[in-house]
A and B are shown apart, each in its own frame.
Chain A
């Protein structure tokens, strides 16, 4: 077997194992949450008998291990179960977790994708230029701007952008309300301000890591060799330094993209964007355990998947790992 295939299989199986461990943790954490779903739904005045009957109806009376195994078994068949919030509804009218999470997940992925497509190339380009003109005015300006944008809370950036580009200058929508029928272009237009906010939040990390990784390599003997071949500074950086800098850069990109999937609830709330983050917060307060579990699992998959991709890119871009002796 080619070593790269073996490494790939190793990493993928490791990821699956991690995911399994995470699913246990998610399950245990939710078990440990204070409060009782049945009494939250039925109200303070519900009699113990009614609570017990309700718990039996939705299976909450069974031991945790059994519930975990059933939950996991259903998950593997693609069945995330029913939302507890609709548990009181007549048979056939329950809402499945999938029907709640699915559209929200699409929205989240759409916003994350939009931001990634804009932010990643911009960060790389700014990082390369900053390394090329290091310690010059351009470098300082880029560093100052990105550091400022990262230091300010994201809701503040969001409101500032809204104030200037939606209220004072009515160029963009201030609210990013979309539903399944919204056209693609209309979607992009409505998502402009939240996307811009997130771009400003994540560009700094990626750009600074690109710059630092490249500058770190400029002292290496092979960069001196390249300079003494009479190559232009731009070619030295792009052709000789960058290919050796991918590993740290893709790792930071992965962490930032994962943040776009799991950590943008504040921006969703500000722009009233129907994403997964908001759904999870709502479900936690409603004690809607299956939905919370599904959201947490989606977040874990995003994190593990993106880091897996980052590892693979790091291997593929390094001939020493790709073609071991």
Chain B
């Protein structure tokens, strides 16, 4: 084996994808070189072709995609021309893939260990007993709890962060030369993400494996990759070593990716309170309490950000305020009057005053209704608007969200993700609400699109004086939109106050953990945090 020659050399790669019987080019002539033991970061918005390029590095095209031109040379073989039966000999033993959601990528019907041993055993590399022994070592190296027995569990019995580490372990089972990580931490909370990043980094370093690390999050890639390629619309924007790219991005597009995280709202206070939640407790069915003694005030015309990891009770709080889940204890005051706990006891006018925007615009809009009906129905239902008055209001609403009348007759499927979320915002605004609950409304969107939505929400608040209760797990979003912050952990409020106060030390220990887990645009950040935490744990 020639150590000096690159492990993987992609030249002039073109890939087409099919939609509705028509083939479009989604990767337009990409060159990529990966040396042994090197980690290459692929960065870009969704639709940039990152995953497609990553899979093509294994010679794999998803169903509905085809490689039309170019060469993919891996260790002397051209994967673009190799028949699948030959590629199958490489997949697993020489190259492996770690998918975005391990929860979906593990087969729910089999135990973890059985899925782990499958690759080496089927390819005839090791005996089952030997692989199982090695698995325990690797699980321990990945800091999985109870490494001897965790393999006996089914995927649903293991947490998301642990699954993602087990998936990395499974990919490493045959010590492959090349690993493809496809957004392995995107679906995880920041506090979990940092553990997975650390585990991946250590194992890749230890086994000296070459890897392609795909992510839309620059700060994450900065921790993992030696070199970064920025992709957009299937083309290369720029390529440089990680430090060089961070210090001095050349292209305007790359700079715009950097800029998103710097959005910051100057905090303002307000003496009037629109919503006051006092001592609320809630549970689903007769189960354990999801909320315990939660008290929150939302000032008039301001934004309160509720932050916390998944399972902290953020969304449950939204369900309690909207009346979908009546609380077990506590009271909610809205505009100075007690709010009936259950939805069915609330008069229609109260329903109008509290609106909600959801995380997934795809599922929040009826796919068979046109924008005209989606926005028109609340106008007729709450305001009794019909005919020309309604049409005028529809146009006005579209202007508010920076769209125009052409969108009235579109179906949700004819809108982009950002446009769909704008329609959801317009639907909430349509009936002149006093409070809008935003549940992770930018989490499913790309950073640049998310920035547009955040700016829109800020402008609308300024123009209309509407108050927001903004639920999120992303601290960059909090900085961009909040006046006040409420930190939740395991169903309780652990810290709350004006934004600058909460973000300035001293913090509650959990707030500290949350803040210190957010990746920074500094390649030494991960190692630094881990070192500091190790010292703190030892001391």
Contacts and interface: CB of A to CB of B under 8 A. Distances in A.
Nearest to B55: A228
A222 B104 CA distance: 6
Contacts of B252: none
The 8 A-B pairs with the shortest beta carbon distances in the complex, nearest first, are A230-B91, A243-B109, A230-B92, A230-B88, A221-B104, A319-B154, A222-B107, A229-B92
A324 B369 CA distance: 38
Interface in B111-163: 118-119, 122-123, 154, 156-157
Contacts of B63: 218-219
Most chain B CB within a 10 A radius of its CB, from A225, A240, A325:
A225
Interface string A214-241: 0000111110111111111001000010
A323 B157 contact: yes
Given A219-B63, A228-B97, A229-B119, A325 B156 contact: yes
B532 interface: no
Interface in B68-126: 87-93, 96-97, 99, 101, 104-110, 118-119, 122-123
B339 interface: no
B105 A221 contact: yes
A244 interface: yes
A260 B118 CA distance: 40
A318 interface: yes
Contacts of B154: 319-320, 323
B88 A231 contact: yes
A235 to B, nearest CB: 7
Nearest to B110: A243
Given A229-B91, A230-B122, A240-B109, 7 more contacts: A219-B63, A224-B99, A228-B97, A230-B88, A230-B93, A240-B107, A318-B108
12 contacts: A221-B105, A222-B105, A224-B105, A228-B60, A228-B91, A229-B92, A229-B122, A231-B92, A231-B122, A243-B107, A244-B108, A317-B109
Contacts, number: 75
B220 interface: no
A169 to B, nearest CB: 44
A319 B119 contact: no
Interface in A93-110: none
Contacts of A219: 63
Given A228-B91, A232-B88, A222 B118 contact: no
A228 B109 CA distance: 18
Interface residues of B, number: 29
B62 interface: yes
Nearest to B111: A319
Nearest to B97: A228
Contacts of A220: 104
Nearest to A320: B156
Contacts of B101: 221
Given A222-B105, A244-B109, A228 B122 contact: no
B58 interface: yes
B519 to A, nearest CB: 25
Contacts of B123: 230
Nearest to A317: B109
A106 B500 CA distance: 82
A226 B167 CA distance: 12
A318 B109 CA distance: 6
A319 B122 contact: no
B62 A228 contact: no
A319 B108 contact: yes
B105 A225 contact: yes
A240 B108 CA distance: 9
Contacts of B156: 319-320, 323, 325
A244 B107 contact: yes
Contacts of B58: 228
Contacts of A243: 107, 109-110
Nearest to B89: A230
Contacts of B157: 323, 325
B92 A320 contact: no
Given A319-B156, A325-B157, A226 B107 contact: yes
A194 B88 CA distance: 47
A261 B60 CA distance: 49
Interface string A301-325: 0000000000000000111100101
